[in-house]
Amino acid sequence: MVVRVADEITKGTLAWCNEQREGQGQEPLDDLPTGKIEDPWSCPCGDATGLHVDLTHYREVDEAGDPIGDYFPLPRVVQDFVAKFDDEQYPEYIEEGS
**57-61 and 67-73: which strand pairing?**
antiparallel
Question: Does some domain include residue 3?
Answer: no
pLDDT at 41 over 90: no
SS3 35: strand
Lowest mean pLDDT of 31-35, 39-43, 60-64, name the range.
60-64
Q: Does 83 map to a domain? A: yes
pLDDT at 3 (0 to 100):
47
- Note whether residue 36 is domain-resident: yes
Separation CA 32–CA 35 (nearest Å): 9
Q: What is the pTM for the complete model shown?
A: 0.88
pLDDT at residue 48, as a whole number: 97
Which residues constitute the domain of residue 29? Answer: 8-93
| pLDDT category of residue 66 using cuts at 50, 70 and 90 | confident
Has residue 80 been placed in a domain?
A: yes
**Does residue 94 surpass a pLDDT of 60?**
yes
**pLDDT at residue 98 greater than cutoff 70:** no
Q: Is residue 1 part of a domain?
A: no
* Count of the separate structural domains present in the chain: 1
Q: Is residue 31 part of a domain?
A: yes
Judge whether 98 lies within some domain. no
